[in-house]
Structures are given as structure tokens and as C-alpha cells.
Structure 1
Amino acid sequence: MLKHELKALTEQEAEESRKKYGSNMLTPPEQTSFWAALWDNFRGDALIRILTVALIITLIFAFLGLGDWLEAVGIAIAVVLATTVSTYSEYSNNQLFQKLQDEYSRIVCKVFRKREGSVQVCDIQTDNIVTGDYVLLQAGDKIPADGVIVDGFIKVNQASLNGESEEASKRPADEDFVFNPEEIDFLNEHKLYRGSVVTSGEAIMLVKCVGDQSQFGRLAQELKEEDDRESPLKLKLGKVADAISKFGYIGGTLIAVAFMINCIFFNPTLLPGAETYLSAANLMQIFRDLVSSITLAIVIIVVAVPEGLPMMIALVSGLNMKKLLKDNILIRKIDGAETAGSLNILFSDKTGTITKGALQVVNYFSAEDKEYNSFNAIPEKMQKMLLVNICGNTNAVCLVNNGKLQVTGGNITERALHEFVGVQGTLDYEAAKLETGESLMFNSANKYSANEIKGPFNRAVIKGAPEKLLKNCKYYYDENMEVQPLTDAIRTRLDERMAVLANKAMRVLAFATSANPIGEYLLEDLTFVGIVGIRDELRPEAVEAIRTAKKAGIQVVMVTGDKKETAAAIARDAKLIETGDDIALTSDDLNAMSDDELKKILPRLRVVARALPTDKSRLVRVSQELNLVVGMTGDGVNDAPALKKADVGFAMGSGTEVSKEAADITILDDNFNSLVKTVLYGRTIYNNIRKFIVFQLTINVSAVLIAFIGPFIGLGTPLSVTQMLWVNIVMDTLAALALGGEPPLARYMDERPKRRDESIISKNMWSSVLTVGAYLTAASLLFLLHPFFRSLFRLDGPEIYPGMDMYFMTGFFCFYVLSAMFNGFNARTDKVNIFEHIGENRNFIYVMLLIAVVQVLMTFIGGPILRTAPLTISEWGWVVLFSLVILPIGTLRKLIFPMREKHQ
């Protein structure tokens, strides 16, 4: 009998309810157009802004005939490519996640509506359900709104909301039951929440809360909060951009001043009739020199800014996104993977992430306390007895199709038992064709189920709570299925075994048989068969992945809706809890602490049990206030707000669309090990970017120093404006391709996580930039000034500077370019062996060869524009030989300044 009078709504009443309480349709996430995303990326990147300013200035000078259109085109291409590639990658990936609204609008529910004077069960789309509707719920249905159960009995899986894999029982509430939508209580046996799944039974729900007002809807709305927290990479690159721009501005100004000082004092160019440089008759020459000095300064600024860096970031991220997709890792945001490499702390969901997300029979114990870890390991006679106890006492239906077991119906415990028996066990039971009689289904009062087996067996098989069955057992079966007396010693040993299993967070189920029929005397003189330990088992790969994460300096905290004892047991097995200093808290413990108290114990925190969605968001916020880079994994609606707020959110592929919408990365195979791969790829991206910065800054530092010193030693501009632009364009673009493909190395997981405020340029990198940059500067000046080097080249070309003809200056230009190219081998690894893992990045070799070929080609076609002329084989031999010297210089630096960025 219904505890509530079923007052089905008419269509008119439903429309009035919709106007009063709102629609059940969830407000879809706001979509960003491609052009809006492109503009945001264009505005938000400091390097792009600097390049844009340089582009505008270059265009102005080119338009006035005082600059080079080639450089303007080069900068424009770099800006367009960098912003377009990164924006397109993010935009296209985001489209994969915009399915939540469509998915729910397609779901049809059975709703009681009053039509034509009678109450009818109608198929109505989820979006059209209103407050006050009565919904018929059956096994397999997704609950479409928040409400209260008014008739029937069901079990629901609320894991997507509270993270608990254990099914919750729901029963009718009295008519005076008050449903307060502000009180979130997933354990309340009368309340139902949208997003849960009915696993068994049938019931009628009265809808109390719809759409955005439901718990599901409120969690979804939290995802719309704008997150203005910059990724660690953008933060670091912003600082680098500021530093580089200052270096470029100061360097450009000093070089412009040096150029004018050279014009005035060291190398005056006087117009006819001018007695001194600073005279009225020489005004036109002064103006030309001023324009030349400003042009040179602009070029230096452009050279100093590595315009290939934004493009390199987009390129290396795009390449790694494809590699990650092959490993079942889908990157939604282009900086998501790199951010993963900087993680300091990771808050991980338990169910389906660290554990398999489904109950499994872990082991079976006979009455003699012998352990068996698989059904096939059990002795044959005992195996047959257990098979009858499992398959002969169930309300699940088992089918074997194409060699695979399909279990429908029953609860998760029974499904776990059938999975334990497996395909062969199921076939063996079916072949026996045992006749069954009267049965007794499990209920919470009896705590057991039973079924009579006819024929030769002629006994009732019983399964249920051990404390209920064991006390009624007088006998037990040995391995040969001989009946033996159940002594106190055996009973004590079984009690101890069950206590051990309970401490491991296992659910214990006992099996027994009775010679009595189902009825009053069923439980008298039972014969004990054995017990099984059932648990949501750990993923084997998750244990190793957690070990690797800890080795990488990442603190892993398991956040779960399970009770504390269960969570702690899982954490111990997963090696999250290993010492007495490791802390496990409940949600209540957490809420009793202030933020300051939580910050003090956070480094020792390993488990948060009975967690609420607000706990997860708070943990992320508090960790970020400590300047930590925070990660969050999850698969349920309850995880979505924390996934959104974290620096990087990992959603599981089998999780809800809301969680995927919130996350930066989706682990398609639900494999915790894939998450660790993401961290490795993130660190690879970070290290490859640093390699490019070392490579490029070495060129920038030496080019600026050479341009600054040249005028003071009578060399004017050893590298012409167009030559510097050529070096900048070629080295920036091609080096990005070469270094962007460097492979992921296991040793990156030994490095300590990078602090959020840590400079991307380390001391080791500075030692490389300054040491090799100083060598390249000194070697270039020595090449230009020492007579020995001049004697190696022909002296019959057009003279550029006194004693320096076109061939010699071409030789110097090629020496500089090839030295920079060979330094790429130094920059690609911090090891002495410059060829380490080079076979895993063949593009590096191809790109370096391309640079060399293009440079040779430019000596033939560059002419006056690049100030080059073809060299002989002998001259090329000397150029290559001197260029190779940079390799031992780089090796010597590594020996003097070894890498010290290991995990601490």
C-alpha cells in the first residue's frame, strides 16, 4: 500500500509546476567559439604580446623602406602558427566533451500522468519531468531527479555522487516525511538523487527537486565558475618573457648607443663639405645612422625574443597529445599534460581508480582454514560443493555466450560470486541439471538466503552473514567432503580468520548446508562449507603507479566516500599508508579543523574517508594556498567541482560526462598507471621546452654580445641585420621541430616536482647558456680578429671591412650558424653522451641536417642580401672543424657543472 497518495499530475499541472519550480533540463556549459578562444590565447600569452609589438615596429620600418619585410613576415607567421595551433588543439578536444545535455535529453522515464480521466504510465523524456511527478523506477534505470521513494524497495548505486561502490537500500518514507534539498544525505534510506543507478528492485519516486536545483545540477553549475588560476607553465614562461624582453630592450638600447658612438668617434662617415660628424652639413648622414641604429636595436630585440617558443610549446604539446591518445589518455587542454608533470599533490578517488570499481572474491577459506585464491585451485570435491552453494542459491541469471560469462540480475555480491566461479563452473553447474525446490531470498532481518536442492543432494544450501550461520553449525566438510564435528578450536580459528579479513576491508560471506527444509528448523545443525572474502580489489597496476608517483615526489591522498576502516585498509595495501606518521581522517575530522590546522597536517595526510564534495574542493583550495600544484582524479559527479578547481583534473573514461566536462585530461582506460604516464609526458614536455630555451638563449646571448662589442673593435656589425634575422628565423623554427620530439625518459620521474613559483630556467641551464654563449662570443671574435683564420680563406672577394672580404665574412657567418647547430646536440641532453637516445628522435638528426643543407644553399643564393658567397671544399672543411669545437666545450661544462636537479 502506498504511504503517499499517488496524485498524478495532468499535463496542465505539469506545465504549472515547470513554471513554478523550473525545468529538469540542466543549463548547458557556456560554449566558447573558436575565434573567442583564439583571441583569449592571443591576449593571454606574454611572448605573443612582445612579438606583436616587435611585428608592428618592424612593419612600420619596412613600410618606410628602413626595415626588412622578410622579418615582418617571419614574425607574423610565428605569431599566427603559435596561437592557431594551440587554440585549434584545445577547441577540437573540447568538442568531444559537450555531450552531457544531449545524453540526458535522450533518456526516457516512466512517469505517472493523469490523461483522459485516468492515471497512465507514460514515457516522458528526462527534461520534461517536473516537481510533483511520480516516476516508476526499475533495475537499470538512471534516477532522473531528486526525490523521495513512496512505494517499493530498491537498491541504488550512488558511486557517481558519493564515491561509494556499496549499494544503498531505499525504502518508502512516511507521508509526513520532509524533503529538504539543502540537506545532502546519501545514506538516508528514503532519499533518491539524480545520477544514481537502480541496481535491483522496483519503486515509485515522488520528484522533489529538478534541473539545476537538484544535487546533480548544483554540482554541474559549479563547473561554470571561471578559473583564473594560470597554469604553472604559463606562469613560468610569463616570467621568462618579462626577463627576455628587459634583456632585449636594454641590449637593443646599448647596441644602438654603441653604433652611434662608433659613427661619431671610431668610424665617421662624413658627407662632402662636412668637417666633423656632428655638423649641420652632415645632418642627412646623422639621420641615416640614427635610423640604422634604431633598426639594429629593433632587430636585436627581435633576436632576443625566441619567437619559436610559443610555437614550440604548441608543437611539442600537440605531438605528445597524439602519443598520449595512443596510450588511452585524452588531453582536453593543451597545457594539461605539462601541468601534470609539475604535480606536487594528487587527490585521488578510490572506487574505479585505485580499486577496480567492482566487488571481487579475493579468496576462499575452508573450515580447516586452508586458503584458495581461485576457484580452480579448490580441491575437486570441495569445488563441486561450493559450486552448488553459489549457483544453486542465487537470484542472478548466468549465461555463457561466445566463451564469455554474462551475469544479469542479482546484487553486486552475487555477481562477484558468479565471476569467481567463472565460465567453466557455470557450464559444469548447468550440466548437472540439479532440481531446485523452495527458496528463501535474502533480507536484512534474516541476513541469509537459502534454496532447497532436490535429487541425490537433497539438502538446503545457505549463504549469508558468518555470525548468523557459524553459531548454528555443528559440523563441517573436510577436503574430501566428509562430515566432521565442528570443534571450538576450529570455530575460534575461523573467528580469527574473519577478523583478519575484516581488517583488510573485506566483506565476509559464509556457506553452509542443512538437512532440514526451509522453515522454522532450517538453521538447526548446519554443516559448514567455507567462507569467502569479497572486496573492491586494488588494481595491481595502481600499486606500482602509486609507488612511482611517490618516487617522483608526488603526495597521493585517497579521498573516498567509504568508511574510515575500509579506506585505511585499502590505503595500507596500496602502500599509501606505510608509517605511523601517515594520517587518515574522516569528513567530520576535516570539518573540525581550521584551514591553518589542515595546512599543518596536510604533508602527512594520506586518506580522507566519508568525503563530501565540499571536502574535495576545500582540499584543493587549501593546497593551492600553500602554492602547491594540485591534481585531482575522479569519475563521479561529486568529483567535478574539485576536478575543475584543481590545476589539473583527471577524469576516468567510464565516469560521468560531468566529470569529463570538468577535467583537463580523461584517462580512457580507467588505468591509474596511465595517469603516471601523463605525469611522465608532462615532465618530458617541460624538459623539452627547457632544452629549447637553453639552445635559443645561447644564440641570443652570443648574438647580442657580438653586435654590442663589434663596433668598439672596428668590426661594425659582424653579423649583418639580415644574417641575424636569418639565424633567428631558421634556428627558432627548426630547433622547435628538432627538440620538440625528444623522447620521455624514465629518469624524469626521479626529479623533484617543480614549484609553481620556480623559475623555468635553472642554475644548470644558466651555466649552459652563459658558458657556451661566452665561448661562442669569444670564438667568434677570435675568428674575426686573428690573422690565422683570415689566411684560411681567399682574399679576392669584395671587401666588407678592412682586411675582411666577402669569402672570409661568409666563412664567419657559416661558422656561427654551424656552431649554433652543433650546440643543439649539447642542449638535447644533460648527459655527457650527446647521442643518448638519439635514435628515439630521428627528427632531430633530420632537422640538423636540413639546417646544414640550407646554410650551404644560402651561400650560393644569399648574395648581397645575406652578404654571402660560395666557399670552396677546403674553406668548408675549416669552417666545420672549428664549429665542432663547441661540442667538447659543452661536454667540459657538464663535467664541471653536473646536473643537480634530482628528486630530494
Structure 2
Amino acid sequence: MPNAEKSISLENATDVGGGLTSKEVSDRIAQGKVNGDFNIPSKSVKQIFKDNCLTFFNLINIILAAFVVAVGSFKNCLFLGVIICNTAIGIFQEIRSKRAIDKLALISAPKADVLRNGEIQTIPVKDIVLDDIMILSAGRQVCSDCIAVEGDCEVNESLITGESDPIVKHKGDEILSGSFLISGNAKAQVIRIGADNYANKITSGAKYIKKNNSKMLASINYILKMISVCIIPMILLMFGKEMLLAHNTFTDAVVNTVSAIIGMIPEGLVLMASMVLAVSVIRLATNKTLAQDLYCVETLARVDVLCLDKTGTITEGRMEVSDVISLDGSDHEKALCEMIYALGDNNPTALAVMDRYKKDGFLPEREWSASTAVHFSSAKKWSLAAFENKGTYILGAAEFILGDAMTDALREQIKTLSEGGYRVVLFAHSDNMPPEVEGGALPENITPVALVRITDCIRKEAPATLKYFAEQDVDIRIISGDSPVTVSGVAQRAGLEHYENYVDASTLTTDEELWEAADKYKIFGRVTPYQKLELVKALKAKGHTVAMTGDGVNDVLALKESDCSIAMQSGSDAARNVSNIVLLDSNFASMPKIVGEGRRSINNIERSSVLFLYKTVYSFLAALMFCFVPMGYPLQAIQLTQINMFTNGIPSFLLAMEPNFKRVKGEFIENVLPRSIMHGLLITFNFVGIVLMRYISGWMDIIPRETFDYSIETMSTICIGFAAFVILFKVCMPFKPWKIGLFIFLIGGFTADIFILRDFLLDLKPMCFEMIVMTGILMGATVLIEALSSFFERHITDNLLVFQRYWKDVFVKMSAKRKAGKENKNA
């Protein structure tokens, strides 16, 4: 790190009084000497259209539709309408989400005050150019590396170094980007911009756009990969059977093949997941939370370890006076108030004292006039104000004010008062006036008169938020650069369990010790940026899903490493840029809302995914069966589209928006696939039943084969549709009034379609009495089988899980073997 106290001379000094001219600014922009935008860009509209339109399954659907159109069966390509609607909805929701993100990003974009053409202008940080004169004032963050050219100030570099002690900056001193001014005012000339800034250099190890680590997305992609492997061979097998075994015409072979394959494509699965998560992003935006990618809410909902920084997360980042303890029996409150207002300092201690008297209504008429005032500095550790006929009052660290004159009794009293994470400062008095020494000096004969106990302000919502995470079995770790005793005291007052279980990270000298301590301790003090990173790595290596909050440049690498990173808007630009979530109001209380939104998304996506995937299961099994049965596929694509629209498409998207805050358990595949297989087998049973009834009725001369074949599509549409509604009934449970209305609407729409569209669109033929009876028998058997499967559901699911895990392990081993083979070949 550059020497913070070193004075640097400027080769090209800018006019301090007027700043750069408009021409000089334009010249520098033309030369590329401009700060630039280091924010994470959201996905462009072009990219959104591309990602939603150019998908593998959209391509398969278009090819299948082209074949159907080529043979003149135009009505059987209406399934493209569902694809178009789904794609349009996905594009609309993502663009809507993008606009919400961009709007919040614009609002939260950092600004800087610069001097140009003799006037102070407020501009975006990205527009700062080399040699700009920045106007720095207390509370503002330094946006670019610069050199002080006028004025003195104190800066806090904790966001960069983790060290909380302020540093005094004089004319000629370098001030690093990422630091904050805590007192004073200064003008500073920009000496580095963009990637050359110190803050950007130390964060160069962090990827600019963090890759999402969504388990749900990985599971969906895995499922889609398996489906895509099966589709092409199945198309060839089904078409060959239709032509060679069933001896159908080319037109019938194409229509039957498309009908069999179309159901295997879960065209709405990825779209539905993206849409639900996009809605979550929009909902979070209304709660002042900026989610910088769609899948971060899912990750946070799965988190089981949450790493918190003390300042700005549990505390408000400001101090407050707990009490003033007199040492001589007199009331010194008025003197303390007069002194602090005479000084006008804005360091944390001074602001805490000011707030005490503002809050208590104690602010008196200004009766005392200070003849001498020495402002606080981190070097002296004290400040003083001298008043005529009142003497000199001093406030600061006792050991710096009293020196060797400090008694053991006072030292012990301060130590006792400091327990619980309090900071104790001494208020002292002298009848003498301070000597006239440049920079200020203490008077003689100083007497301690009071002790001022100061503490971090605990956020009002912090105890309730910590309690919420404890109830959700989320383990809390507090990682801070402050003293572990101080952090433990703050944790105790915030209501954190096991607050006494802390460690000084400076005593953990090796990575092995740090990794061992990761699970052992709850509170870590004196933590360096490198140790923060290693703690996150250790927790992840132990199988935890880790979220981390942070606000400083020193947090960036650990934020990047965590599974879900959360930054405060009040923190550094670098921390916000690499984080998945930014709390725009810097309010930790927003976390439960984010977790709840993530749970709603995951639980609903899992439930709706079952509706898409069981269709894939039964379509694959039915297509496989009809590859070896000498009869045509008993459904056309248009009939299957109608069934899917009412039993999968419409309800899946509506159910995915339902409030659902149950705790997320298990992996996505393990939660979804067994239920999908069970439901898929139920539909497959109906296909098997239809085939058996066709052959049995012909063998027993109940119904002539030609009569059965004439109405088989009608029977299949009713039986498959009824079975799908039985499954939907189970998925919708528990029922609410709106679900009852939805279910009635869907059944009514399906039934009306059969009667209204049966002739000119669905091509359904009337059934004879015997086929109606058989249809009723098959529907009754469906209800019975579903009831039995519900009774034995746990046992069946466990066995399916074992089966699924076995084949998953097989695929993993095959992939690893194939990868190893390629590496050996390359070697």
C-alpha cells in the first residue's frame, strides 16, 4: 500500500480556484483519461431476445412444425402458439426486470463534487477525468486516487485496509480511492483514474461479473441435457416404426411422430423459472433491494451460514453516549456540551456527544466563548477547548491525556466500564490555559472529572433479524476488523446467541488454524481481508452454503468467493459491483424479505416444474411403447396441445406466483424428479390401458377394430386429460378459494373445447356406448391408482430416489472418465 503520509508534488497542477475548463475536460475524455463505468452492466434487450428465442427446444419445435406444415396438417402446428406466447412472456418479464434493475442502479450510482470552470458541479463518478479538482467534505467517499491541494482532513481507510483508525491528510498527501472523510474539508487533484485507481487494483482479483452458482439452474440444465440426448434418436425410431411397422402414409407418419415427440419437450420449464425469478427481482426492487442477477434470491434462500460485518450491518455505523459518570460528584454535562459545540468536530465521538444533547433537549443557549480550540486528531487522541474564567476542558483517551499521572484505580474503572464492547473516553479539566504551541498542547495540572461511555448504535431491527435467522437454522458468523471483545459486546446487545464464543484472528497465524476455527467460533475479531477470504473458503469446503455481507474494498474478495454476496449501498463502489444483492437503504432488516422471496420462488418453481416434467416422462414412455406396438400414436399434436394448455401451461404459471415461504429442503432434482416420474407413470398407465382395451375388445368381439380406431383419439384425449387433471388436483393442494376457481375454470375450458372444437379443430369422433363404458372404467382406475400411490408415496419416492441417484452417479463417473481420457490424450 502507498505511504499514506507521504507528500507528493504534482507535475501538472490544476488551478485550485477554478478547476479544469470545459475544453480541458473534453480533451481528456477524447484521450481516454476518464474514470469510466465499473458497475456491472445488466443484460441488453438484444441479449434478452436472443436468450429467449434461440434455444435448443425452440429449434426442435420449429423443425417439428415445419415437417407438419410440409405435409399440409396446419392445425397440428398450433403448439407453436404456446411456444410463441411463452417466449413473449419471458422476454416481457426479463425486460421489465432489466428496467427495474437499471433504474435502481441509476439511482444508486455514486456522485462526486468537482470544480470546473470556477463552479462546483455534481457529476457521476464515471465522468471524473484526470487532473479534476474534487471537493471533499466529511462523510463523502473518495472516488478516485488524488492529492490534497488545499485544506486538511482526516480520512478513514477501513474500507481498503480494514484499519479503523483515522489518518490526517495535509496538503501534498495522497488520498486513496475507497476511503471516507470523517472530518475537515479539502480540495484534491485526481492523479489516477479507472483501472489505475488503488481500489480497483486491489479488487482486480475479483471477477467483474460473478458467475451464478444456482443449484436449481444447474439441475434444470442437467435435466434438459438428458432430454436433448433422447429426443433425436426417439424421432428417428418413431418415424421408422410408423413407416415400416405400422405401414402408415408419410403424412400420418409425420403427424404421429410429431405428436409423440412434442410432449417430451418441457418448453416452458426454463421460461417459467426465469419468469418467476424476474418477478422476484421486481418485487425486491419495491423494497429497496437491488438483485443484480436472477438466481441470487434462490441462493440466499438455501444459505445455512451467514457471515456479517459488525459496522453497518448489526450497528448503524454511528456511536451514541450511554452515560456520563462523574468522578468528583459534580455535574459536568453543561461543560461537556459547551466544549463539544465550541469545537464543532464531526468525528464519531463528537457526533455521539452532540446527538445526546440534541436528543435530550439539553442544548443550552451558547453562554461560553472559547478562546482556544484544538480539534481531535488520531495522532493526539484528544481535543480541547479553553474558556475565559472557566479553564480548559479536554476530551479523549485517558492514557494520552494523563500519561504517567493515570492512577491504577482509574485504569481499572475504565476497564470495567469497557466490558460489553463500550468505548470509554475521559473528560478532564484544568484551571490553566493551554500553551501557545503550533498544533496544540495540553495545559498543566489536569484533573479527571468524568468518564463518557460510548457505544455503537445497534440497529433497531438487528435483534429481530438475528432471531429470524436463528429460527431458520442459519448459523451466524460475525467477522470484523475491530477488537473481538468489542464485537462480542455488540453481539450480546444485539441478542446473538453464543456471543461469548469469540477469537482474535491475529492469533491464528496459519491457514490450518483459521480453517479449524471457522466452525469452532461464532465471532472473529482483528480479521484481515485475506483471512475473511479464507474463512469463506473454509466454510464452503465444509459443505456450507455461505452468504456474506460487506461494505468495504477489503471485503471484495470474500464477497466474490461467497455463494451469495450482499453489499450495503452506503459502502464502497467495489463491494457493490461484485455483490449479488445491494441493500439500497443499507437496512439489514430487508434480509428476511429477500429470503422469503427466494423461498417463494424455489418452492413454486419446484411445484410447477413437476407439471412440465411429468409430461416429458409419460411422453417418452408412451413414445417408446408405441415404437414396438403395431398401431399409430393415439393422439394428434393439436389434441396434446389442448391437454397441456389446460393442465400444464396455464396452471403452472399461476401457481408459481403463489405465496409460499416454507423452508427449502433437499436438492431440486431430488424434490422434483420422483414426483414427476410417479405422475408420468399414471399417464402412461392410461396409454397402456387404451392399447390393452383395443386388443381385448377386438379379441372378444366387443367392439370392431375399425370402430375402436375411429374413436381412439377421442378416448385418449378424455382419459389423458382426466388423468392430468387428477395430478393437477394433487399439485394444487391445499386448496384456497382462488385455486378452486382456477380448477373449475380449467375443467370448464377443457370440456367446452371438446364439445365446441371437436369437429373443425380437434378432429374428435363420437364414441359408441361400449367405448364410453371403457373410458369410464379407465378414469375410475386412474383415481384408484392415484389414491394408492398417495398412500405409498413415501416408500415409492424413496425407491425412485435410490434409482435416480444410482444413474446420476453412473453419468458422473462416465463424464469424469471421458474427461480424464481427453486429458491423457492431450498430454
**TM > 0.5 fold call:** yes
Identify the residue that residue 116 of structure 1 maps to in structure 2.
none
The alignment of Structure 1 onto Structure 2 pairs a total of residues equal to: 770
The correspondence for 2:259, drawn from 285, 290, 299, is 299
CA contact (8 A) 1:349 1:560 kept: yes
Deviation per CA, 1:137-178, whole angstroms, max 9, x where unpaired? Answer: 5545654542455775421233554466x46131448x9xxx
The 2-side partners of 1:103 and 1:880 are apart by 64
1:783–1:812 Cα contact (<8 Å) kept: yes
2-structure distance, mates of 1:890, 1:148: 75
Q: Which residue of 2 aligns with 1:52?
A: 59
Corresponding position: 1:91 with 2:98: yes
- Percent sequence identity over aligned pairs: 21
Partner of 2:347: 411
SS of match in other structure, 1:306: coil
CA distance in 2, matches of 1:673, 1:801: 69
Instruction: Give the Cα separation in 2 of the matches to 1:817 and 1:89.
Output: 35
Give the 3-state SS of the residue equivalent to 2:669 in structure 1. Answer: coil
CA deviation after TM superposition for structure 1 residue 818, in Å: 3.6
1:237 to 2:220 alignment: yes
- Does residue 827 in structure 1 map to residue 731 in structure 2? yes
Match of 1:9 among 13, 36, 49: 13
Deviation of 1:232 (Å): 2.8
- The alpha carbon displacement at 1:581 in A equals 8.0
- Distance (Å, rounded) in 1 between the aligned partners of 2:570 and 2:52: 35
Q: Residue 113 of structure 2 is aligned with which of 107, 110, 114?
A: 107
Q: Determine the C-alpha separation between the residues in 2 that align with 1:717 and 1:19.
A: 68
Which residue pairs with 2:505 in the alignment? 585
Once the two structures are TM-superposed, the CA of residue 722 in structure 1 deviates from its matched residue by 2.8
CA distance in 2, matches of 1:672, 1:547: 13
User: Is it true that 1:665 corresponds to 2:581 in the alignment?
Assistant: yes
Q: In the superposition, relative to structure 1, how do residues 230 and 52 fare at CA in structure 2: closer, same or farther (>3 Å)?
A: farther
Looking at structure 2, the residues matched to 4 and 721 of structure 1 have their Cα atoms a distance apart, in angstroms, of 77
Cα 1:625–1:450 change in 2 (3 A) is closer
Q: In the alignment, what sits opposite 1:182?
A: none
Task: Tell me the amino acid that sits aligned with residue 55 of structure 1.
Answer: I
- Taking structure 1 as reference, are residues 227 and 298 closer, same or farther at Cα in structure 2, changes over 3 Å only? farther
The 3 A distance-change label for structure 1 pair 567 and 84 is same
Shift, 1:358, TM fit: 1.5
- In structure 1, give the amino acid aligned to 2:374: M
Q: Is the 8 A contact 1:299 1:721 kept in 2?
A: yes
Deviation at 1:779, TM superposition (A): 5.5
Q: Is the 8 A contact 1:623 1:630 kept in 2?
A: yes
Q: 1:169 corresponds to which residue? A: 167
Q: Structure 2 counterpart of 1:108, which letter?
A: V
Distance 1:40 1:340, change over 3 A: farther
1:218 to 195, 198, 201: 201
Residue in 1 aligned with 2:823?
Answer: none
Match for residue 743 of structure 2? Answer: 848
The secondary structure found in structure 1 opposite 2:312 is: coil
**Counterpart in the other structure of 1:528:** 449
Question: Residue 238 of structure 1: CA displacement?
Answer: 0.9
Contact persistence 2:108–2:584 (CA under 8 A):
no
| 1:566-609 deviation line (CA, Å, top 9, x unaligned) | 445545666778399876524x957x53xx88666654465565
Is the contact between residue 214 and residue 299 of structure 2 (CA under 8 Å) also seen in structure 1? yes
* Residues 1:539 and 2:522 aligned together: no
> Residues 587-642 of structure 1: CA distance to partner in whole angstroms, max 9, x if unpaired?
x957x53xx88666654465565556666566667777788655343334554565
1:339 correspondence with 2:299: yes
Cα distance, 1:614–1:294 mapped onto 2, change above 3 Å = farther
The CA distance in 1 between the partners of 2:175 and 2:336, in whole Å, is: 31
Would the alpha carbon gap of residues 887 and 331 (structure 1) be closer, same or farther in structure 2, given more than 3 Å must change? farther
2:585 is paired with a residue whose SS is coil
1:272-671 aligned at under 5 Å gives the runs: 286=247, 288-289=248-249, 292-293=252-253, 295-343=255-303, 345-363=305-323, 365=325, 385=331, 387-395=333-341, 409-427=345-363, 429-430=364-365, 434-436=367-369, 438=371, 440-443=373-376, 447-451=381-385, 462-467=394-399, 492=409, 495-496=411-412, 498-511=414-427, 516=431, 518-519=433-434, 524=445, 526=447, 528-532=449-453, 534-549=454-469, 552=472, 554=474, 556-563=476-483, 565-567=485-487, 569-570=489-490, 578=498, 585-586=505-506, 592-593=510-511, 602-604=518-520, 606=522, 629-640=545-556, 643=559, 646-671=562-587
Deviation of the 1:86 alpha carbon = 5.5
- CA apart distance, 1:334: 1.9
Q: Structure 1 residues 136 and 716 mapped into 2: Cα distance closer, same or farther (>3 Å)? A: closer
Q: Is the 8 A contact 1:582 1:604 kept in 2?
A: no
TM-superposed CA distance for 1:858, in Å, is 0.8
Give the aligned partner of residue 680 of structure 2.
773
Structure 1 residues 580, 529: closer, same or farther in 2, change over 3 A? closer
Residues in 2 aligned to 1:27 and 1:538: alpha-carbon distance in whole angstroms: 35
CA contact (8 A) 1:473 1:525 kept: no
User: 2:397 & 2:108 partners in 1: Cα distance?
Assistant: 43
Equivalent-residue separation in structure 1 for 2:497 and 2:569 (angstroms)? 27
Query: Who is 2:721 aligned against?
Result: 817
Displacement of 1:734 in angstroms is: 0.8
- Cα distance in 2 for partners of 1:616, 1:730 equals 52
Match of 2:183 in 1: 200
| Displacement of 1:259 | 5.3
The SS at the match of 2:339 is coil
- Output one character per residue of 1:384-434: Cα deviation in whole Å (capped at 9) or x when no partner: x3541432221479xxxxxxxxxx75322111122233434245x34xx64
Q: 2:663 is matched with which residue?
A: 748
Report SS of the residue matched to 1:866: coil
Seen in structure 2, the aligned counterparts of structure 1 residues 741 and 774 have a Cα distance that, compared at 3 Å, is same
Counterpart CA distance in 2 for 1:645 and 1:702 is: 41
- TM-score after normalising by structure 2: 0.76
Question: Is the alpha carbon distance of 1:124 and 1:694 closer, same or farther for their aligned partners in structure 2, counting shifts above 3 Å?
Answer: closer
Report if the CA contact (8 A) 1:146-1:207 is conserved.
yes
Q: Which moved more, 1:889-898 or 1:240-249?
A: 889-898
CA 244–204 in structure 1, closer or farther in 2 if over 3 Å, else same: closer
Secondary structure, aligned partner of 1:761: helix
Q: Which residue of 2 aligns with 1:892?
A: 791
Secondary structure at the counterpart of residue 769 of structure 1: helix
Distance 1:252 1:101 in 2: 52
Q: Which residue of 2 aligns with 1:728?
A: 644
Q: Secondary structure at the match of 1:678?
A: helix
| Secondary structure, aligned partner of 2:361 | helix
The answer to whether structure 1 residue 866 and structure 2 residue 762 are counterparts is yes
Q: Which runs of 5+ in 1 are unaligned?
A: 112-119, 176-189, 264-285, 369-380, 398-407, 475-487, 829-833
Q: How many Å apart are 1:671 and its aligned residue? A: 2.4
Q: Which residue is 1:282 aligned to?
A: none
Deviation at 1:880, TM superposition (A): 8.7
Alpha-carbon distance, 1:868 to partner: 3.7
Q: Structure 2: which 5+ runs fail to align? A: 1-5, 436-441, 802-827
Shift of the alpha carbon at 1:714?
Answer: 8.1
Q: 1:392 touches 1:461 (CA, 8 Å); kept in 2? A: no
The 1:122–1:810 alpha-carbon spacing in structure 2 relative to 1, beyond 3 Å, is: closer
2: CA distance between counterparts of 1:233 and 1:685? 11
* Selected match of 2:33 from 7, 23, 30: 23
Does the residue aligned with 2:395 lie in a helix, a strand or coil? strand
Instruction: Give, in whole Å, the separation in 2 of the partners of 1:870 and 1:538.
Output: 74
Q: Taking structure 1 as the reference length, what is the TM-score of the superposition?
A: 0.70
Alignment of 1:70-149 (within 5 A): 70-74=77-81, 76-77=83-84, 80-81=87-88, 83-85=90-92, 87-96=94-103, 99=106, 104=111, 107-109=113-115, 130=130, 138-139=137-138, 142-143=141-142, 145-147=144-146
C-alpha contact 1:223 1:662 (8 A) present in aligned 2: yes
Q: Distance in 2 between matches of 1:3 and 1:816?
A: 82
How many angstroms does 1:38 deviate by? Answer: 2.5
Tell me the amino acid that sits aligned with residue 723 of structure 2. S
